[in-house]
Amino acid sequence: MATHLLGLALVLIAAMAQMARGGGGGHDYGKALSKSILYFEAQRSGVLPQSQRIAWRANSGLADGKANGVDLVGGYYDAGDNVKFGFPMAFTVTMMAWSVLEYGKQMAAAGELGHAMEAVKWGADYFVKAHPEPNVLYGEVGDGDSDHSCWQRPEDTTTSRQAYRLDPQHPGSDLAGETAAALAAASLVFRRFNPTYANQLLEHSKQLFDFADKYRGKYDNSIPIAKNFYGSFSGYGDELLWASAWLYQATNGRRYLDYLANNGDALGGTGWATNEFGWDVKYPGVQVLAAKFLLQGKAGQHAAALQRYQQKADVFACSCLGKGGGGGGNVGRTPGGLLYHQSWSNVQFVTSASFLLAVYSDHLAGGDGQAVRCSAGSAQPSELLAFAKSQVDYILGSNPMGMSYMVGYGATYPRQAHHRGSSIVSIKASPSFVSCKDGYANWFGRTGSNPNLLDGAVVGGPNERDDFADERSNYVQTEVATYNNAPLMGILARLAGGPGRLEIAETAIKSDNQTSLPPLSSGNH
C-alpha cells in the first residue's frame, strides 16, 4: 500500500511539474521565459561582457557620445536597426523591472532571476550615463533616416552616431518622465541586493522627474528627428503620472502620491480611458499601479482619487476582455482570438496588455477578490489571467497558422526576422567589413533563414486575419523589438511559476544559483 501511495504521489508531483511548465499539450513557459530574456543580449550596444551568451554578437557603438563630449557607450538597440532611441528603451527597462518586481520569485525558481536583473542593469547603467547633469538627458544616439538607408551589422555601423539631448531650452517631459520611471523601478529591483546602486538609480530618477515636471514639453519637438520613428502622440501627461507613481512605489514619499492624486484630472490619468498600453501611451499602466496602491491600503487620504484611477483600470481590462459594452471601446480581435490594434508590430500591445491584466488580476485576488466592473457584466480576477494566458498561448503557437511568433521557440517560428545583425553573417565568422550597400545587395534580399538565430525575439506578428508572411522585407510583421519582449518576460514567469507575487527578497536571489548575478559593490550583499 505504501509503495502504491508513493507511486501515486510521484505521478501527482510529475503532473504538477508538467502543469507548471504549461504541459498537458500546452506550452513550456519556463523555456519561453528563458528565451524571452536571452533575446536582450542580442540587442546590447557597447562592450559585451564575458558572460555574453548570444555569441554571434560583438562590441559595437564604442564611440557613442564622444563627439558630444559624453560617454554614451552601452544601452540597447530598439529593434532591427542600430539606433539607440531613448523613449522605447526607457519603457523597455520599466517593463523589465516591473516584470521582475511582480514575478521575481517565479523567475528565481526558473533559474532566470540573475539574467533578468542583468537585463535591467544593462539599460539602467546606460541611463545613468545619459543623465550627466540634473537637467540634461541624452535621448537618442544615431538617427533613423540614415540608419535605415543601410543594412549593416551593429559592429560595422558607418552611419551617424550623433547624440541628441534634452535640457531646459529643449524640454522633453515624456522622455525624461519615462526614464525617471525606469530608474525608479530599477532601483526597486536592486534595493535589497545592492542598495548603493539602488540609491544611485533613485537619485537620478528624482532629478529626472523634477526636470520633466519643471520644464514641460514634448521630446519629439526638441529631438524632431525621432518623430517619424517614436513620436510622442499621447503627449507627456501620462509619463509625468507614470514617473510619480513609480517614485511613490520606490520611496513611499507622500510628495509623489500627492502628485499622482492631485494631477490625475489635469494630466489625464483619471479622465482618459484607453484600451492601448505601450511605449507611447502609459495611462493604463498608471491606472493599474494606482489601483494596486489602493488595494494595498497605501492610498492615505487620496482613496477617492485612486478609486477614479481604478475605474479607468477596469475600463482597460473590460475592453480587452470584450466586455466594454457599446461605443466601440472593445479591442478588436483576429478570428483566432488575438487582440488586434494595428498592422504594424501589433504584438507589442498584446504582450503589454497581457502583463497588465495578469498583474491587475493578482492584486485584485490578493486584495478583497473584487471583480472588475464592466458595462457588459463583471469579470473575476481569474478571468483576466485566463485571457492573458490565451494571448500568450497564441503568441507561442496556439493559433490558426500553428506559428510561434517567438524566434527559436516551437517547431515553426520566423526564420527571416527583420533584424540587421541576425541577417548578416557574424563578424566573428566573417570579419570582412559589410558596407551599407553590400548589406542590402548581399544579405537583405537573400531567401532562407537568417544566418544567426535571434533566440527569444518576438516579431510583430500576424495581420487581422491571422496571416503571417515570414519575409525579411515584411518589417510590419517580422521586425522584432525590445518592447515586445519586456512585458512578456513577466507574464511568462507568472505562467511558469504560478501565483504568489513577491517583490525581490534576498531569499529569492540566493535561491537563484543557476545564473550569474550582476556584480556586487563591496559590502552590499
Nearest-5° Cα angle at 400, 397 to 402: 35
Three-class SS state of 35: helix
Task: Give me the pLDDT at residue 12, please.
Answer: 32
Statement: residue 5 has pLDDT above 60: no
Say if CB 45 and CB 76 are below 8 A apart: yes
Span 385-414, average pLDDT:
98
Task: Give me the pLDDT at residue 272, please.
Answer: 86
Per the DSSP assignment, residues forming a β-bridge with 373 are none
Per the DSSP assignment, residues forming a β-bridge with 163 are 141
* Catalytic site includes residue 170: no
pTM (whole model) above 0.75:
yes
If one counts every other C-beta atom within 10 angstroms of the C-beta of residue 148, the result is: 16
Per-residue model confidence as pLDDT tens digits over 233-266? 999 999 999 999 999 999 999 999 999 999 999 9
Catalytic: which of 125, 178, 238, 479? 479
Per-residue model confidence as pLDDT tens digits over 358-378? 999 999 999 878 899 998 889
Span 259-277, average pLDDT:
95
Catalytic: which of 167, 438, 470, 503? 470
| Distance, CA of 11 to CA of 184 (rounded, Å) | 45
φ/ψ region of 111 (left if φ > 0, alpha if ψ in -120 to 50, else beta) reads left
Say if CB 455 and CB 39 are below 8 A apart: yes
Task: Give me the pLDDT at residue 514, please.
Answer: 31
Q: How confident is the model at residue 328 (pLDDT cuts 50, 70, 90)?
A: low
Task: Give me the pLDDT at residue 199, please.
Answer: 98
| Distance, CA of 316 to CA of 467 (rounded, Å) | 26
Q: How confident is the model at residue 499 (pLDDT cuts 50, 70, 90)?
A: low
Q: How confident is the model at residue 205 (pLDDT cuts 50, 70, 90)?
A: very high
Span 287-312, average pLDDT:
97
The grid coordinates listed for 235 are 503627449
The grid coordinates listed for 109 are 525558481
| Percentage of the residues of the chain whose pLDDT score is greater than 90 | 86
Q: Which amino acid is at 252?
A: N
Statement: residue 3 has pLDDT above 80: no
Statement: residue 101 has pLDDT above 90: yes
The grid coordinates listed for 481 are 523589438
* Catalytic site includes residue 276: no
Per-residue model confidence as pLDDT tens digits over 402-412? 999 999 999 99
| Percentage of the residues of the chain whose pLDDT score is greater than 70 | 90
Q: How confident is the model at residue 326 (pLDDT cuts 50, 70, 90)?
A: low
Task: Give me the pLDDT at residue 145, please.
Answer: 92
Per-residue model confidence as pLDDT tens digits over 149-201? 999 999 999 999 999 999 999 999 999 999 999 999 999 999 999 999 999 99
Q: What are the structural domains of the chain? A: 27-497 (1.50.10.10)
Span 444-457, average pLDDT:
96
Q: How confident is the model at residue 327 (pLDDT cuts 50, 70, 90)?
A: low
Task: Give me the pLDDT at residue 24, please.
Answer: 34
Say if CB 89 and CB 97 are below 8 A apart: no
Average pLDDT, the chain: 90
Range list of β-strands (E), 162-290: 163-166
Per-residue model confidence as pLDDT tens digits over 116-141? 999 999 999 999 999 999 999 999 99
Catalytic: which of 418, 455, 466, 512? 418
Phi and psi at 28, nearest 5°, equal: -90, 90
| Distance, CA of 293 to CA of 161 (rounded, Å) | 42
- Which of these, 128, 205, 216, 134, lies nearest to 169 by C-alpha position? 216
φ/ψ region of 408 (left if φ > 0, alpha if ψ in -120 to 50, else beta) reads left
Span 295-310, average pLDDT:
96
Per-residue model confidence as pLDDT tens digits over 423-446? 999 999 999 999 999 999 999 999
Span 298-325, average pLDDT:
95
